[in-house]
Chains A and B, each alone.
Chain A
């Protein structure tokens, strides 16, 4: 059995053969996982310095030189690396007095912070499978982002206390601005919010829970939702980026809703982390510094703040190392341009806009396929995996260790 590192569900029941440039005898891979496994055969990187092929030692030496001479380097990415690599990365940041940040900085970070500090109650996905009678995907579309979420955990399986499952015992709801792919599965329970309207929507739910008529939205629909929430025996909410980006600085209102729901019944929250080990980085950095992301080690002590986010630090740092991430594709144009103008080191198994812009490219083994290690699933469960393909490429952890030794 293999573990798929295509998303943060870290499915451990994958059967597949990868040989001779082909993927065959596949069982249990979703479409996203299939794409992830097949990516082993396309657009692989080679060691490069300023667009010219070099050997690995030269690329690592040049990366060390750039980082050594930088006054305020930024180390960014991390969500697609194992805990072992993240651990070395944090040590490297300490050694360099650098800023370190990961993708949670513009993703699930503001919610994950509350989950890890215990201010919002959470549970494991196995608990969801065994006990949940209500699952709410809020600004999340797992049919696209985490395709096996519903079949393994939240809707279709027969759990310990949910043997009659989706036919009789489970209700799946979606809160979204649109009819997403997931919403088509539970059409009757799609609750629409206008873009940016999640805070008002929550206030309306809180009113309904108090027995008041909501001032906003479709009153009948809101009263129906309030009834469903009150009737739930054991509910789970899965917030996606739709909710995070809508609430932004107003996450307190969601915290209030969860506290109120837990006065009535049981409701747990699991953030729909995207990359396979985003939560792992958040937990590890928190353990070492007290902060889940956006940390600067300048002056020898860890400090935290928005100025250390990749979006801000891209404009103030004087060199950047990007690992397992393609910020030139996934971040706004202004941030991408700022990063592209820096002395840039990219550690990545595959070609991207970021590797094309980087002065130094270091190829790495794909975690889960060509390199083993440990990662933390979206619900906090640690998963250990072994490689399933033999590759001569070094793992992220080895590359980072070699860079650190050379500095």
Chain B
């Protein structure tokens, strides 16, 4: 449809304006990220050189310092365990729920799916106060299980809703054919619906992983020296000394790297998953 739209501007002028906006947007949104990456590769004096240098001899000293001296490696390891654990268990319980809510009839179906939506709206700061008290009572502060469980309060609700949408998109003819063959209800889910919804499961997994990987509030309250995640660790060492931009940016790049790689590989699916809920209304 787009080609029907013509502008009042002379034809030779419009592309120029659009093209400058295009460049400007890329600069505004991608530049800060590129700047973090560039800074992480500069040596300490070069970081504070004015005017800022674009061409310089790259160094990995900050990465070595971050990984060795600041125990960032452990933070990244903890983040991996928590994010993978939370993603896996989320899928295990949210995918069947999404299937049931979209394809199976049972009493209170709408009300229960609405409950999942409400859980998503709970303010995190309100949730963490009682959770902190319980976890400390049960001696589960600073444990992987505790943080994974609390992260899942974020990931489970939206995963159920994403999976509902993906299962709804499957053609009913798939299951109609299976009914004729006398397939059991569970096998209908496992062997008919699920293999056709792997794309949706993948996108849901990506969102759950990113959510848990980036999460800060719950992690800063619930973790200590043993299970401190990378976002908490990066906050900690910059708080100690404000001018350590080198190790900070190196750690920032290490935290950003997995999600940027995921984004490069699956950008189409991520954008679709993000805008899907909104455009379907």
Q: Do A and B come from one complex?
A: no
Q: Which residues of A contact B (CB under 8 A)?
A: none
